[in-house]
Amino acid sequence: MVSKYITTSPAAFATSKYSKLSSRVIDTCNQLRQLGVSNDIKLPTLVTAGNQSSGKSSVVEAIAGIPLPRSSGTCTRCPTEVRMRSVHQVVRLTLTDVDQKKPKEPEHSRSFLELPTEYQLEFTRNSVVLEIEGADADLTIIDLPGIIQSHHKGPHYVEMIKSMVLNSIESDHVIIVMVITAMDDVENQAINLEARNVDPEGQRTIGVITKPDNIPKGEHDKWVALASNRRPGQELSLGYYVVRNPGQNELDESIRFEDARVKESEYFETSPYWPSNGELQGRLGTTFLRNALSESLVQGIKKGLPGMQRQANQKLEDIRQELKTLPIKPIDDVRYDFHNRMKAVAEGIDNEAKGLNGFSKGILQKLKQSYSKFEEAVEETLPAFEVEEELIALGAEDGVKVSQEAFFNVLTLEEVAALRSEHIGMELPGYTPYSAVEELLRRFKEQWRTPTSECLNSAREILEALINKHLEKIFAQHPHMHLKLRDIISNIVDESASECEDRLQRLINMERNTFTMNNEAITMAKAAFLVRLKKAYVGPYNTLDQNQQASILNMLASSNVNRFKRVEDIFLAQPTAVDAELEMMAVTLAYYKIALKRVVDTVPQHIEDYLLQNTIGKDRFSDRVCMKINEYVGGESAGDTLMRELMAEHEIIEAKRRRLEDLQQRLIRSIAVMKNL
């Protein structure tokens, strides 16, 4: 098992002045990756990509100086991130999944370095992270699985690898290390097409030609032209490099890293096809490739640093704003926290109920609408009388909103006469028993109970919605306490609604007694209704102008008949056979005119007082709820265990807060790291 690799003679690059700079720059980038912000900040990255068995993993191994996690005879099965630092001499291995979850401990991952020879690993999006301290250069590079044309388990593996490669190389901050095998023409290799698609101008692609020792005779010139960046349509701004890595026979013999590099150097020195001067100077061998990759990465990081800092600061601001959208963070003193939150609920309810401190008048408008519906419903229960096919009832002039067509309690003259007859006893002729009038009134007043109950229920729904809204706002993050509070407050509302219902029923019962001290109003209303009733029964008299009316009244006055102040009084003085019934109707209408105004005020007043104020009066509401909770947890002297359980934050909110706070801290540290570069 490979757990450590020690180089015997580090390259001169590792000790150069530039190496010290690259060490700082790449170490900064690695720190940002370790902080887990690579998904939030576009870190310049080297990514090797190529066709299956193109030799790209051997390229990375040569650069890293350590075998990658694969088994003999197989290819790379998952992305491998290699982080090299030219300090110390230790190899570390971690396994990190694609979702950036916590890496597994190294001991669970070491088997990736020593795999059995048989086909074992399936292709996966998980990534292996190798951290190498003591490398010949400071460099971080990602080795992707090779692009494949087919798979024995189905085409979805082919598409998965292709998608993985495209997603990894398409971003502008990625430097593509395009590995091309010299054993197949460059135009036939899929990576060439994919790289050109995402980098059509070839500005961020480095070409690496592998297996130059396997080029058939007569074909060296085209590969030398490609390596010299002279092949039309295949030019790259960063150029090409040629490397020679151990073949399978040499790998089977466990060739040492130093020996592999010696053989590579001997190959290029002795090969007649690869002159090390001229166009190919500095382009042959792993050492030159490693140095070029390190320099490209360092320059990319330095160039991208301002943008990375902007991204980090913007992401940090986004995180802070998102944290502000979360409910207020709980404090350690759970009782104090609960009381403060309960006061906030009570204040919010009180303010919205009154339309204060930024709240609209919506609750007041909803209640007023309910009271208006109650008024309309009561008006629909008012009495109406049919006399000679004419309907006599309270109208707009009496303050009634509903039209006469809405009245459904219509009694005919005959029905009123029958009711009067039922109550006639030993009274003198012409008198109507008072009990008959009371019975007539009672028939209509009993119908007030239904709209009264409906009005109470409507107000209760508005109240409960208001309470639940503010309870949800403050306590949604504490699901156990929220549930308990809803139960407690529901009982409180039940108690208030029950008391209010009782008082409203008593109010309606009081209305059974016919009573008013407003004698003048009822007398005038009775007279007016009697005129309308008698006109309906007798028929209208001819309309007289004012002069004619005055002349008639003067003639009566000259005959000492002074009781008539209006001609209508003369009309009313005419006796009819149904005067008693008409008077019963007039009294009923007149009384209801007064009682209507009374009941449409007193019912809403009772609801306001006994339901709303009794429940959500600010201090009363908070105190009652806190007292109930205190009783439930065992009083002030009890421990805080149960209270803490109730005030436990919702696990989703708590997890989100932890994640955001953790990312916030990592971004702050990342910004500091970049600032110190």
Give residue-wise pLDDT tens across range 27-42.
777 777 666 666 667 7
Structural domain including 490 reads 336-639
pLDDT number for residue 350: 94
| DSSP states along 520-567 | HHHHHHHHHHHHHHHHHHH-PPPP--HHHHHHHHHHHHHTT----SSH
Full strand arrangement of the beta sheet holding 90-96: 90-96, 127-133, 80-85, 139-143, 45-50, 174-181, 205-210, 240-242
Task: Band the pLDDT of 19: cuts 50, 70, 90.
Answer: low
Is 4 contained in some domain? no
State yes or no: pLDDT of 14 exceeds 50: no
97 pLDDT higher than 60: no
What pLDDT score does 401 carry?
67
Q: In this structure, which amino acid lies at residue 126?
A: N
Give the burial class of 58: count Cβ atoms within 10 A of its Cβ; 0-12 exposed, 13-18 middle, 19 or more buried.
buried
pLDDT of 71 reads 47
Residue 24 has pLDDT above 80, yes or no: no
pLDDT at 102 > cutoff 60: no
d(CA 564, CA 378) in angstroms, rounded, equals 37
pLDDT for res 87: 60
Kindly state whether residues 351 and 310 are assigned to the same domain.
no
% of the chain exceeding 70 in pLDDT: 83
pLDDT at residue 23 in the model: 67
Q: Name the more confident of 400 and 604.
A: 604
> Of the candidates 77, 177, 94, 76, which has an alpha carbon nearest to the alpha carbon of residue 132?
94
Residues 287 and 358 reside in one and the same domain: no
310 & 377 share domain: no
| Pair (303, 425) in one structural domain | no
Establish if 659 belongs to a structural domain: no
Question: Distance (Å, rounded) from C-alpha 229 to C-alpha 278?
Answer: 12
Is 527's pLDDT higher than 80?
Answer: yes
Q: Are residues 373 and 280 in the same domain?
A: no
**pTM to 2 decimals?**
0.59
Q: How far apart are CA 575 and CA 581, in angstroms?
A: 12
With respect to residue 400, please indicate whether it lies within any of the assigned structural domains: yes
Q: Which of 199, 190, 173, 168 is nearest to 80 (CA)?
A: 168
Residues 6 or more apart in contact with residue 55 via CB below 8 angstroms: 179, 181, 210, 211, 245
Instruction: Give the number of other CB atoms < 10 A from CB of residue 465.
Output: 11
pLDDT (0 to 100) of residue 12 = 39
Which of 316, 347, 379 is at the close of a domain?
Answer: 316
Residue 299 lies in a domain: yes
Crossing angle of the two packed helices 449-475 and 334-354, in degrees rounded to 10: 140
Q: What is the C-alpha separation between 480 and 649, in angstroms, rounded?
A: 9
Residue 103 has pLDDT above 50, yes or no: no
Write down the residue that tokens 């459904």 correspond to. Answer: 408
Is residue 661 assigned to a domain? no
The secondary structure of residue 147, as a DSSP letter, is B
Average pLDDT, the chain: 83
Q: What is the pLDDT of residues 389-429, one digit of tens each?
A: 888 988 767 667 666 666 667 899 999 999 999 999 888 88
Higher pLDDT, 293 or 584: 584
Boundary residue ending a domain (316, 347, 373): 316
pLDDT at position 7 over 70 = no
pLDDT computed for residue 75 by the predictor: 52
pLDDT tens for each residue of 210-249: 999 999 888 899 999 999 999 999 999 999 999 999 988 8
Task: Give dist(CA 102, CA 91) in Å, integer.
Answer: 19
- Side-chain-side CA neighbours of 340 within 13 Å: the count stands at 11
The answer to whether position 32 is within a domain reads yes
Tell me the C-alpha distance between 646 and 338, whole Å: 10
Check residue 223 and give its pLDDT: 93
- The predicted model gives 379-397 an average pLDDT of 87
**Rounded Cα distance, 92 and 65, in Å:** 13
* Structure confidence at residue 222 (pLDDT): 92
Share of the chain above pLDDT 90, in %: 43
Give the N- to C-terminal CA distance of the chain in Å, as an integer: 37
Residue 287 Cα distances to 57, 218, 407, angstroms: 16, 28, 102
Give the pairing of strands 127-133 and 90-96.
antiparallel
Q: What is the pLDDT of residue 346?
A: 94
- How confident is the model at residue 307, as a pLDDT? 84
The answer to whether residue 440 is domain-embedded is yes
Same domain? For 344 and 415 the reply is yes
Largest CA distance in the chain: 155
Q: Is residue 649 part of a domain?
A: no
Say yes or no: 306 and 391 in one domain. no
542 pLDDT tier (thresholds 50, 70, 90) = low
Residue 281 identity (one-letter amino acid): Q
CA nearest neighbour of 505 among 440, 457, 452, 441: 452
Alpha helices in 178-285 (DSSP H): 190-198, 220-227, 248-252, 257-270
pLDDT at 552 over 90: no
Give yes or no for a contact between 668 and 676, defined as CB atoms under 8 angstroms apart: no
Alpha carbons 141 and 177: distance in angstroms, whole number: 9
Same domain, 204 and 282: yes
Residues 381 and 497 in one domain: yes
Residue 347 three-state SS: helix
Domain count within the chain: 2
Question: Residue 118: what pLDDT?
Answer: 37
Clarify whether residues 125 and 271 are in a common domain: yes
Is residue 320 within 8 Å of residue 441, measured between CB atoms? no
193-to-144, 184, 204, 230, 325 alpha-carbon distances in Å:
16, 14, 14, 18, 46
403 Cβ contact partners less than 8 Å away, ≥ 6 residues apart: none
305 and 372 share a domain? no
Two tokens at 453?
Answer: 């109950």
- 465-482 mean pLDDT: 94
83: helix, strand or coil: strand
How is 564-585 classified by DSSP, letter by letter? Answer: -SSHHHHHHTS--TTHHHHHHH
* CATH number of residue 253's parent domain: 3.40.50.300
Calpha distance 484→429 (Å, rounded): 70
CA 485, CA 462: separation in Å to the nearest integer?
A: 18
pLDDT digits over 180-207, tens only? 999 988 888 999 999 999 999 999 999 9
| Residue 257 C-beta-side C-alpha neighbours within 13 Å | 23
Q: Look up the CATH number of the domain holding residue 475.
A: 1.20.120.1240
How many angstroms separate the CA atoms of 281 and 295, rounded? Answer: 17
CA atoms within 13 A on the CB side of 173: 19
Element (H or E) spanning 242, and its range?
Answer: strand 240-242
CA dihedral 669, 674, 676, 677 (to 10 degrees): 150
Q: State how beta strands 80-85 and 127-133 pair.
A: parallel
- Residue 360 and residue 309 share a domain: no
